[in-house]
Each structure stands twice: as structure tokens, then as C-alpha cells.
Structure 1
Amino acid sequence: MGDDFSPAYFTCKGAAYIGDARKLLATLPDNSVNLVMTSPPFALQRQKEYGNLDQHEYIDWFLGFAKLVHQKLKDDGSFVVDFGGAYMKGVPARSLYNFRVMIRIVDELGFFLAEDFYWFNPSKLPRPIEWVNKRKMRVKDAINTVWWFSKTEWPKSDITRVLAPYSDRMKKLIEDPDKFYTPKVRPSGHDIGKGFAKDNGGAIPPNLLQIPNSESNGQYLSGCKAVDLKGHPARFPAKLPEFFIRMLTDPDDLVVDIFGGSNTTGQVAEAQGRRWMAFEILREYVGTSAFRFIDKDTTPKVMKDIYKRIISGESVDLDEYRKQ
């Protein structure tokens, strides 16, 4: 990071900065970032308190960030973006903004779509109210699109780090293949033997990620309550960035979130032994996000002090608030 920018807070592994991510990204060396993992404000028709643009303006706006990301990524780096779906204004027809963003990022900026993911949030409330609850014309929208872009065709990736637990049926099959499976030739002509009935440490996960987003307490929200502020209204669950950080990076790689919000990405990256940087334009969100990195028994008085120091423009070493 250049001399003109000081972190709002930092730890031994990373730092959070207050400011426009376009300016902050520009200070990073080209080809220096391993993963950009982020969830930008969505292109919703109804204005949210954390800010969002009209769908028609949104795509050009986002591509300005994506172009810089392409410059800063290493050749084997990845750019993972969580986009929520939206409806067209005033009618029960879906917007295609998240798909248009994906196509333009590939066609115009030179990214590759390594794989498309879909985050199913079973705890999501029925929305939009008009079409689901009132008129009962549409089902609940519980899926976000998550695009995994890569700078080249060969991004760093290791799915053995994100294997899913075996089902009970698969565990029985591994334990005694002869008892639970008879090899057959599929209608396609493929001969399915018993070679798959071995313990590989877990099952290969699908690109449908079922992760509830239902946190109601914890260090971050406790800290927000201590300083009498609401938590960020659009937090994603830790398991979402964790999946991609584990799969796409190695220890000590650099993970960046260009729309830091409550800095879930930084918290997860640090827990996984990665270096991290988070950029967020709203000072209050950066101030409260610091609570993710301090001890759980930190008193409300100390939390208020940390928040005030960050808001006033100090650069706070959060390791001072953690037991060694």
C-alpha cells in the first residue's frame, strides 16, 4: 500500500482501509493479489441504507472496479463475486444485471469464468414481499449467483481442501463395497466398477453451496451493540468466503475484499493463515468491523474506545487487544 494511505486498523496478518476501493487498488503492485473475494452492494431497485445504484448504471460502475482487479491479480489468481438477484422495477420479472455483469467482465476485461456457483440460503426471508407474500405469484428468492472469475484459464485451485463430509450411505459403501454395491454397466456404456468406493477424505462438493445466513449473536454483533450501532445490513456468512479462500489460496497468500462491509472476508482469511486487505468506503462500518479481530471477553468500554479511535482517524493495532 502506498504512503498516502494508512490502515484504519491492522493485525499481524492484514489491514482494513477506509476509502474508495478504486483508489486503494491503484496503489497495489500489479500481479500481486492471489484472490479478490467480495460481495458488492446489489443493483436493487429499492434504495438500501448502505447504498446501491440503479440497475442500468450498476454494470458500468462495477466494471470500473473489475478492470483494476484484473491488473492486480497474479496470473493464477481468482476474483469471486457474490451477486444477489433482483426484479425489474414494478413487475414480477427478473433483472438480468448479474448475468450481464458476468458476460461483460469476460467479453470486455479478459477474465475467464472458471465456474459458476449458486449460494442457497435456506434461512432467507420470503422476498420480494409484493410478489411472494402479498400476491403469491412468485416463490421465495433464496439463491445468490457467485461468479468465480480467473485471470487466466489455469487459476490456482485445490478442491481437496473443501471436501464435504460423506453421507451415511457412502460411509457404509466405503466400509463394505460388496455388501452395498454391485458393479453395473450404465445405459451410456460406462462400466462403473468399485474404484470410487474408497475413502478420499470426503465428497467432492457441488457448485450449489447451501449455507444459512442466520447469525444472531457473536463478537461482531456484540460489539455493535456495545457502541449502540446496527450491524452491517448485508453480511455474508463466514462459510461462504471460507470455501473459496481454502480452495483458491495457500497460507500467506494475499486475499483482498474491495467492498469490505463488516470484513467477514478478512476475519476468515486471518483464521486460515492468509494475509488480507479490506477496503470499505463507510467509516462506521470499518469501525465496527474491528470487533471481529479482538478477544471475545473484551469489555464494552474497550470496544467503544477502539471504535472511537478508528472513527477519529487513528490507525489502530488490534493485536494490542488480543491475548498473546
Structure 2
Amino acid sequence: MKTYFQTENGKFIIEDFFKLYDTYLSKHYKNKFQLILTSPPFPLNAKKQYGNYQGDEYKNWFIQLAPLFSNLLKEDGSIVIELGNAWEPGRPVQSTLHLECLLNFVHHEEAGLRLIQEFIVYNPSRLPSPAQWVTVNRIRTIDSYTHIWWIAKSDFPKADNRKVLRPYSKSMKSLLAKKKYNAGKRPSEHNIGKKSFLKNNGGSIAHNFFELEPLDEKREVRLPHNVLSFSNTNSNDFFLKTCRERGITPHPARMHKGIVEFFIEFLTDEDDLILDPFAGSNTTGYCAEKMNRRWISCEINEKYAEQAKIRFEDPLLNNRILQEL
């Protein structure tokens, strides 16, 4: 095991996750992590630089993670996994591989897991994919979203949606100001009380659909505050700007920082412990440090570990790298 660098709250380790589990995590961190948050290599057809598996090889690799994650997770902890779509090699047919992976992961007999909720991240800025069938043959539409799956060991993992509220709509703000609305029975047979919507809760409950850019320019996008703060700001992102200045090609499959912060805020408290077993450039560790959570990140590629250090030069962070190898 090679601890590449440490901060006040966490450590970044260069190692294959399965080896790290066998030699270190299973011995020292059983039932310790409140959240395992990661974007593993996607089951893509063309092998990418960041090392994704393919087909049945990917499925077998992915499924064997289930009992390991379960063993490391606290009883009320959560697993959050971003998983993209896949397509059949050479065919304009969407693969069911990602769904097979999910179902087998959740139902692994040694893991005792259950699927809590599905989230959709819509990003219209994604490049046209699959390119052959979208831009050449022009017989399919663009895959513009990814799935995020929330999984847990318990039916009632620790969570609080009051910590990730969306801003109220203009109409709701107006209603709260006027302190009256059209109460009574609706066609749906719901009976709306005279005071049902007069309490100001600081915002509305978040949806499981993240609209990173507006579907309708005339309509206000109402993402949770921590997601909205990162929406449409990639050009000003410290990490990307620094990579450009230093001639570094950034990791091609980075998780959106706002989404990472949403789940950290939603599912953990300060000082809770978070694991990212496939950290890449370490978005999870960066956000955890910024939000005063403890963290461990694992990445096998030393090139991406170098990029991870850049994140801790960010002036938004109070904590810096304390020790590095």
C-alpha cells in the first residue's frame, strides 16, 4: 500500500482496490464507512485509458464488489454508485449490462443489500453518443444522462432531505408572502388544507432528477443549493483551469462536484467516514475535505493521483496536503 498524500481529514492511496481491501481495509475498517461514493469504470465497448472492463468480464468484476462494500459499510450507511449506459458492440442496440450489474450487485447473497432509490443526472453538454448511430447513421438519439444508484444494508439508512432543499419557486415564494391559496378538494381527490402550504421550511424537497442545464430556458432551474453552486461553472473550475495551465489532460470521467456534495450532505454528518474505491482525480476526497468529513480514496493510476493533488491547491479549501510521498 502506498499512501500518496494525506490531509487533515483523509488519505489518498495508490493501490488496486481489491488488494487494498484484503491487506488493509478489511482489517482496520470493517463496518466503519458511513458512505461509499464512487463512479467506477463504466461498461463501455471501446476500452478507455482509465481502464474499464467489458461485457461479462465487467459484470463479474462489478458484482464481486458487493460483499466487500457491505463489509466496510456501517449498518445505517449508504452506497452511491454512478453507472452509465452501455451499447452492444457494433450494434445500434442498448445493452442491458448495466442493469444486470446493478441487479446482481444488489441481490448478491453474501452482501445483504437493497436498492433505496434511483437518481438521474441529465447533462445536455455530453458529446453525442453512441457516435456511430447518432452522428453517422443518425438512427439513435444522444445518451444525455447517467444513473446514480443509492444502495444500503438497511431499509432506513441515515439520510435527511432537509439538508438538501431546493430554492422555492417564484409561485411558492408568492404564496408564502400572501399567506393564502386555493384550498379544498382537488380532481385527484386530495384534500388540501387551508394551512397545508403556509409553513416556510426553507425550501422544497429535492427531486431525484438533476438538471445540470435547463431543459427550458424560460423556466427557472431549481437544483439543491449545493448542486446549483457548481452548475454551469466548469470553465471557472480551479482544477480544470490549473490542468489547462500545466498542459495536463484531466481525468475523462470526473463526477460532478455538485452531485458529490449533494450525497455527502444528504447522507452523512461532519466527521463521518467516506470511501471512494475508484477515485480518479479524487472529486470525492476534495468534497469530503471541504465539508469536514473524513475520507479514504483509492486509485490504481499514479497519473490521476498526481491530478488529485492539484485539487488540494484550491484556495476554497482551508486544509492542505500535510504529507506526501
Output the TM-score relative to the length of structure 1: 0.86
Aligned equivalents of 1:217, 1:55: Cα separation in 2: 37
1:201 CA drift (Å): 0.8
1:148 CA drift (Å): 0.2
Aligned equivalents of 1:98, 1:187: Cα separation in 2: 40
Aligned equivalents of 2:112, 2:273: Cα separation in 1: 22
Aligned equivalents of 1:110, 1:59: Cα separation in 2: 19
The residue number in structure 1 matching 2:321 is 318
Match for 2:113 among 100, 111, 114? 111
1:196 CA drift (Å): 2.1
Aligned equivalents of 1:235, 1:84: Cα separation in 2: 13
1:274 CA drift (Å): 0.3
- Residue 107 of structure 2 aligns to a residue whose secondary structure is helix
The residue number in structure 1 matching 2:223 is none
- Residue 145 of structure 1 aligns to a residue whose secondary structure is strand
- Residue 100 of structure 2 aligns to a residue whose secondary structure is helix
Moved more, 231-240 or 88-97: 88-97
Aligned equivalents of 1:66, 1:227: Cα separation in 2: 38
The residue number in structure 2 matching 1:210 is 211
Amino acid of the structure 2 residue aligned with 1:195: S
The residue number in structure 1 matching 2:301 is 282
1:189 CA drift (Å): 2.5
Supply the RMSD in Å over aligned alpha carbons.
Answer: 2.0
Aligned equivalents of 2:247, 2:282: Cα separation in 1: 19
Aligned equivalents of 1:40, 1:22: Cα separation in 2: 13
Match for 1:20 among 16, 25, 50? 16
Match for 1:153 among 149, 152, 155? 155
Aligned residue runs from structure 1 range 1-324, under 5 A: 5-26=1-22, 27-28=24-25, 29-108=29-108, 109-178=111-180, 181-193=181-193, 194-211=195-212, 215-225=234-244, 227-296=246-315, 318-319=321-322
Amino acid of the structure 1 residue aligned with 2:43: A
Output the TM-score relative to the length of structure 2: 0.86
Moved more, 80-89 or 183-192: 183-192
- Structure 2 gaps, min length 5: 214-230
Given that 1:211 and 1:237 are in contact with CA atoms closer than 8 Å, whether structure 2 keeps it comes out as no
Given that 2:5 and 2:322 are in contact with CA atoms closer than 8 Å, whether structure 1 keeps it comes out as no
- Residue 51 of structure 1 aligns to a residue whose secondary structure is coil
Aligned equivalents of 2:135, 2:197: Cα separation in 1: 45
Q: How many pairs are equivalent?
A: 296
Question: What are the Cα deviations for residues 273-304 of structure 1, in whole angstroms up to 9, with x where unaligned?
Answer: 1001110000110011111012549xxxxxxx
- Structure 1 gaps, min length 5: 298-316
Aligned equivalents of 2:236, 2:127: Cα separation in 1: 18
Moved more, 17-26 or 288-297: 288-297
Given that 2:38 and 2:276 are in contact with CA atoms closer than 8 Å, whether structure 1 keeps it comes out as yes
